[in-house]
Structure 1
């Protein structure tokens, strides 16, 4: 059986965005509280009963959060245009070397109801 476990974290950050709609307000520096969830999929280890020790995931997310929290996202290397889609891809890339069996990364903003889910192919 495959299990999915996840951990959430949040970060507050500012950005600008060039778009076709809401151009004035998006182009000005503004901020959001972003929520993110990182999901892992796998079979629990018979010895531990865990897919992954959530402490290991929390340590990775703590380091990642420090790179995003209270930052101007336009200046964070590797994000590109600070869209929800690019934030999901950035998180995946940041966790790529961790060895964690990522299956999904989500980023959303409760304040305005936007959400993006990035599903990763797994065997």
Structure 2
């Protein structure tokens, strides 16, 4: 069994309602942005005809389509995303890639501040 991954970055703005002190929550309620890095992980055996788990060129094409829905967008307005949490971003990316790349095994999303979420359904 093999695992391969492809990473991509996107910049986006959002707001977030948080359950912390009013002083700390105020910054999240205002429109602010992040540079995100996402990693799409595929898992499976090598296909006998190609020797690959998945053709990475096809994976990159599918990722580019998902990236275009997020990059330089206001995430609060992205249909199907919900609150722009790391958890929701992982699920959003996974659900848009999995129908075309069934070997997708997980998605991780991180921010430069050191926050990271890994989703493996």
Q: Give the TM-score normalised by structure 1.
A: 0.92
* Match in the other structure for 2:94: 92
* Match in the other structure for 1:7: 6
Cα deviation digits, residues 77-122 of structure 1 (max 9, x gap)? 0010100000001011111320331111000002x111100012xx
User: Structure 1 segments of 4 or more deviating over 6 A?
Assistant: none
Query: Distance in 2 between the 1:68 and 1:100 partners?
Result: 21
Secondary structure at the residue paired with 2:98?
helix
Query: Distance in 2 between the 1:93 and 1:109 partners?
Result: 20
Which ranges of structure 1 fall in alignment gaps of 5 or more residues?
none
Cα deviation digits, residues 28-63 of structure 1 (max 9, x gap)? 000000000000000001221100010010000011
Count of residues in correspondence between the two structures: 118
Query: Distance in 2 between the 1:11 and 1:99 partners?
Result: 21
Correspondence 1:1-123 to 2 at 5 A:
2-21=1-20, 22-110=24-112, 112-120=113-121
Query: Distance in 2 between the 1:85 and 1:98 partners?
Result: 21
Which ranges of structure 2 fall in alignment gaps of 5 or more residues?
none
